């Protein structure tokens, strides 16, 4: 399904659990996904899983409790 083709989704907390499942689903539906969390290795695993299933993803390691994290 390509319902989200051409769209970009940013998913926080997406290195595991519900956040990861959401990121995988969005990618499966055609969105380019930016996965965000604190753990770089888990993020890279999520990006690899999305890529190996034909999706497009990038990782952004950050801690959103830090007000300057997104800069």
- Tens digit of each residue's pLDDT (9 = 90 or more) over 30-71: 999 999 999 999 999 999 999 999 999 999 999 888 878 766
| Structure confidence at residue 1 (pLDDT) | 57
| Structure confidence at residue 55 (pLDDT) | 95
Please provide residue 24's backbone torsions phi and psi, each rounded to the nearest 5 degrees: -65, -40
Between 1 and 13, where is the model more confident? 13
| CB of 9 closer than 8 Å to CB of 34 | yes
Q: In what order do the strands lie in the sheet with 56-61?
A: 8-12, 32-37, 56-61
> Taking the domains of the chain in order of start, what are their residue ranges?
8-61
Whether residue 7 has pLDDT greater than 90: yes
Give residue for tokens 């969390």.
37
d(CA 67, CA 49): 30
The pTM is what? 0.87
């Amino acid at each position: 399904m390509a319902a989200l083709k051409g769209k970009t989704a940013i998913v926080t907390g997406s290195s595991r659990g519900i956040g990861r499942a959401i990121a995988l689903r969005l990618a499966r539906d055609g969105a380019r996904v930016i996965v965000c969390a604190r753990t770089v290795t888990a993020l890279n695993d999520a990006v690899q899983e999305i890529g190996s299933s034909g999706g497009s993803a990038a990782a952004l390691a950050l801690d959103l409790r830090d007000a300057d994290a997104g800069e």
